[in-house]
Every structure is written in C-alpha cells, then in structure tokens.
Amino acid sequence: MVDDGKAFSQRLAEARAKQGLDRPVGERGRLPSGPWGIGFRAGVEVVSALIVGVGLGLLLDRWLGTWPWLFLVFFVLGAAAGVLNVHRLFHPRFGARKD
C-alpha cells in the first residue's frame, strides 16, 4: 500500500484520466446550447436592444424636442443592434482568439 501524498495524487490523476473525468479547460464553462436556450437568448437579445434603442430615442426626443425623428432613427438602430447581438451569439467577437 503506497500512502505518500504524491503517489496518491498521481494515481488519482491517472484514474481520472482513465474515466475521462478531466475535461480540457477550454471546454469548461460554455453556455448551455440547447435549441430552446438559444432561441430564448436570441429573443431576449433582440428585445433588449430594441428597448435600449426606443428608450434612447424617446429620451433624446424629449430633451431636444425633435419628436418623432430621433425616435425613428434609434428604433432602426435598436433593430440593427438586435441583429448584431444575435450575430454575436453565434460568432463571439473575441472567441476565435483565446489567449
């Protein structure tokens, strides 16, 4: 029976490797990617970008007294940002180059 710490940790590492318990670090901590999860996330991203766009537009309009022009502009910007957010969902901005 070997009972010093190093041999134990070595044997533990071997056993874990054999059972496939140690996943490579890069695979850990991914977002859940079921179809419902992705769909819900995409919906939330679009809605929140629209909320920000419309909210900013209404605020600026009230401040500058230009109703409804900035509202219209920022509505379109919000929609574009929503599409951008969904695009980011599938192609993360910095995902390609993890250092």
Partner 1 sequence: MAAEGKAIDALGQFELSTVLGPIGAAVGFTQSNLFMVIAGGLIVALMVYGMRPAAMVPGRLQSLAEAAYGFIDDMVVAQVGEEGRRFFPFVFTLFMFILFGNMLGLFPYAFTYTSHISLTFTLALMVFVLITAVSIALHGKKFLGYFFPEGAPIWLAPIIIPVEIVSYLSRPISLSIRLFANMVAGHVMLKVFATFVVMLAGLGAIGPFVSVMPLAINVALVGFEVLVAFLQAYVFAILTCIYLHDAVHLH
Enumerate binding residues for partner 1 (CB under 8 A).
25-26, 28-29, 31-32, 40-41, 44-45, 47-49, 51-53, 56, 74, 77-78, 80-82, 84-85, 88, 92-94, 99
Q: How far is the CB of 97 from partner 1 (least distance, A)?
A: 9
Q: Are 55 and 71 in contact (CB under 8 A)?
A: no
Query: What is the distance between the terminal CA atoms of the chain, rounded to a whole angstrom?
Result: 43
Euclidean distance between CA atoms 82 and 89, whole angstroms: 11
Q: How far is the CB of 96 from partner 1 (least distance, A)?
A: 12
- Lookup: tokens for 66: 């230009």
Which of 37/68 has CB closer to partner 1?
37
